[in-house]
Chains A and B, each alone.
Chain A
Amino acid sequence: MDFVQQMKIVANIQVSQLVEAMRSSGVLGAGRVAKAAEVLADLLKDPDYTVFLSLAGPVVPGGLRSVVAELIKRRAVDAVVSNGANITHDLVEALGFRHVKGNLAADDVKLGEEGIGRIGDVYVEQQAFQALEKESYRLLDRLLQEKTERKLGVYEILEGLGRLLVDGDSLLAAASQTGVPVFSPGIYDSMLGLHLWTYGRSKGLTVDLAKDMDRMAELVFNSKKIGAVILGGGMPKHYVLGASMLKGGVDAALQITMDRPETGSLSGATLEEAISWRKAKPEGSLVTVTADFTIVFPLLVAYALSKLP
């Protein structure tokens, strides 16, 4: 059995050296980070992998928008499954609004009066969502001019919206440019979803989630191996693992979450639990890092990118 080596940290080291130090200890959180970094590097290097990136929690407000866009631009991921909120906030930034560094211990009553919404220690003006309403109507109008069909999958709508955006940092724009589909099964559970709902009711656009399932199934069936990179948990995690069940489960997956397994909810479930459901292969490379993904994900990406040729 390997023994735990005490990590050596010296001045002026690369992120990849830090990860190597974590691997030399190999236990507890640091050990899991090193293992996850290796899994991510493998997923990006091995062309046989179809990689699903699952986004739940405040990925865009947490400053990871460009990191995700970069992975999409490099076609390091083959599909994105996101909650509605991250798509919404991606559009909010594309409209020129910003997420502002705020305070966790803020006076929320006062913020409410000032028209500021709080996400942890991040603030965003409510005005952004009014602007989003106008802009999403305008973009959807343009989209419908191009399409004859009035029943569209979410991924088709998002692909169309992404094509209309002019923003180099937008994950939606990057996805449309590179042909990476973006799924959002719970899109209606978001600000963008509300606008989509009212727009659809007045202009006759309906969302056909079965089309999304068709596309997801196609990706899964055409894959040689399935990889999943899961930030947070929630519906996106379930959607990716559920679809992978069609082909015996994921071959490799990493998850970064602060949620706990004891309450039985999926977000905190270990990836080993997915083996019992045949959503992950027993011989698969699986690692759950119990951490804040705003800390660990950039570290993993910096490491994995440094390993690409």
Chain B
Amino acid sequence: MTVNQLILEMGRSGSFGAGRLAKAVDIYEQMLRDDATIFFGFSGAMVPAGMKQIVIEMIKRDMVDVIVSTGANMVHDFVEAYGGRHFKGTCQTDDSKLYSEKIDRIYDVFIPDQYFVDCFDKPMLGICQEIYGEMMKNKNSPRLSISEFFKKVGMLMKPCEDSIIYAAYKADKPIYVPALNDSCFGLLWDRKYPSVKEVPKIQLDVMGDMENFFEMFRASKKTGALVLGGGVPKNFIFQAAFTTGKKLDYAIQITMDRPEPGGLSGATLEEAVSWGKVKSKASYVQVIGDTTICFPIMVAAVMERIFEK
């Protein structure tokens, strides 16, 4: 049985999680066939969970147009590009012991502290310095937006088949990280931090991306959002749909979060209709599930529909 055959069976039942996941596959397929601009919200521990290559494949196959990510996913992507690894650990563990052994835990994933120093801080500080030097040489201003920054990181990092940042640079797809400072990137600006001798001299302009991000919405024939988790990336995409009047024609969200506390991550997509972020007649579905389970199934089924026949 192929994955798409399984999804078609789920669609025949059409109820509960199975029905929602099958609908998500249908909507993603429609989004691609309809040539919608696809905004990809990428939050949660997706790179540590092993989702990186799936995203790279989606970028290469033109299954996403714009990436909006947490800082953390880009940090972990870069760490792996520079030789760091995430390890299969356990959730039943002595966290005090892990602390003394300098191992950080993301549920059942372990990552040694040292990787953040060797595979992030050091090479990233070097790249920041290179960017600074180049900018001062060319236009005498060290100021750039976050998406410009990621383009330059992609250009200057070591060529790597194994990185979202590099794949996006090669495919000319922008990466937006609205809360970049809420990650190891931000920590590079702590001059007292042991692995930071000199903070980067580049100036990242937090508002620098807003105009071009809105412009991408305005220029879109149709708009689609594919959101893993929720958080800042979900809001960043949705608020642009609202302010530009380009309400989403398509929306898919996979989350385990609940709507009752009122937080955006768990908010239903119907709620987004009331805000004018999602068209009331849009094709949308929220899959209540673990992204690490549902996302690979969805992508495998969509690829089977689009690329094999």
Cβ contact of B15, chosen from A8, A21, A122, cutoff 8 A: A122
**Listed residue (B12, B291, B294) with the most chain A CB atoms within 10 angstroms of its CB:** B294
Chain B CB within 8 A of A194 CB: no
Which residues of chain B have C-beta atoms less than 8 A from A29's C-beta?
Answer: 289-293
Shortest beta-carbon distance from A30 to chain B in Å: 4
**Listed residue (B12, B57, B107, B296) with the most chain A CB atoms within 10 angstroms of its CB:** B296
Which residues of chain B have C-beta atoms less than 8 A from A63's C-beta?
Answer: 10, 12-16, 18-19
Which B residues from 283 to 309 make CB contacts under 8 A with A? Answer: 288-294, 296-297, 299-300, 303-304, 306-308
Tell me the bound Cα distance from A105 to B268 in angstroms. Answer: 11
The interface-forming segment of B48-56, B142-150, B220-228 is B48-56
Are A7 and B50 within 8 A (Cβ)? yes
Query: Given A25-B292, A99-B15 in contact, is the A302-B6 Cβ separation under 8 Å?
Result: yes
Which A residues from 56 to 73 make CB contacts under 8 A with B? Answer: 58, 61-64
The interface-forming segment of A129-137, A165-173, A288-296 is A288-296
Are B270 and A105 within 8 A (Cβ)? yes
**How many residues does chain B have at the interface if contact means C-beta atoms less than 8 Å apart?**
55
Are A13 and B300 within 8 A (Cβ)? yes
Cβ contact of A15, chosen from B1, B54, B299, cutoff 8 A: B1
Are B17 and A292 within 8 A (Cβ)? yes
Query: Given A9-B299, A29-B293, A302-B6 in contact, is the A294-B17 Cβ separation under 8 Å?
Result: yes
Shortest beta-carbon distance from B304 to chain A in Å: 5
Are B303 and A299 within 8 A (Cβ)? no
The interface-forming segment of B87-95, B171-179, B194-202 is B87-95
What is the 8 Å Cβ interface bit string for chain B, positions 123-140, against chain A (1 contact, 0 not)?
A: 000000000000000000
Are B45 and A28 within 8 A (Cβ)? yes
Residue of B nearest to A58 (CB): B16
Which residues of chain A have C-beta atoms less than 8 A from B88's C-beta?
Answer: 1-4, 26-27, 31
Chain A CB within 8 A of B21 CB: yes
Which A residues from 239 to 293 make CB contacts under 8 A with B? Answer: 258, 272, 289-293
Query: Given A12-B303, A26-B88 in contact, is the A291-B12 Cβ separation under 8 Å?
Result: no
Tell me the bound Cα distance from A8 to B102 in angstroms. Answer: 30
Chain B CB within 8 A of A127 CB: no
Chain A CB within 8 A of B218 CB: no
Shortest beta-carbon distance from A282 to chain B in Å: 13
Tell me the bound Cα distance from A272 to B92 in angstroms. Answer: 10
Tell me the bound Cα distance from A121 to B13 in angstroms. Answer: 11
Are A101 and B19 within 8 A (Cβ)? yes
Tell me the bound Cα distance from A62 to B16 in angstroms. Answer: 6
Chain B CB within 8 A of A88 CB: no
Which residues of chain A have C-beta atoms less than 8 A from B296's C-beta?
Answer: 7, 9, 18, 21-22, 30
Chain A CB within 8 A of B3 CB: yes
Which residues of chain A have C-beta atoms less than 8 A from B270's C-beta?
Answer: 105
Are B6 and A1 within 8 A (Cβ)? no
Query: Given A12-B304, A27-B49 in contact, is the A291-B289 Cβ separation under 8 Å?
Result: yes
Chain A CB within 8 A of B2 CB: yes
Query: Given A4-B109, A299-B6 in contact, is the A11-B303 Cβ separation under 8 Å?
Result: yes
Shortest beta-carbon distance from A57 to chain B in Å: 9
Are B50 and A27 within 8 A (Cβ)? yes
Question: Residues of A at under 8 Å CB distance from B?
Answer: 1-15, 18, 21-22, 24-31, 33, 58, 61-64, 99, 101, 105, 120-122, 258, 272, 289-296, 298-299, 302, 306
Question: Residues of B at under 8 Å CB distance from A?
Answer: 1-3, 6, 9-10, 12-19, 21, 45, 47-54, 57, 80, 85-89, 92, 107-110, 162, 256, 270, 288-294, 296-297, 299-300, 303-304, 306-308
- 6 A–B contacts, CB within 8 A, in A order: A8-B57, A9-B303, A11-B300, A27-B86, A121-B16, A295-B17
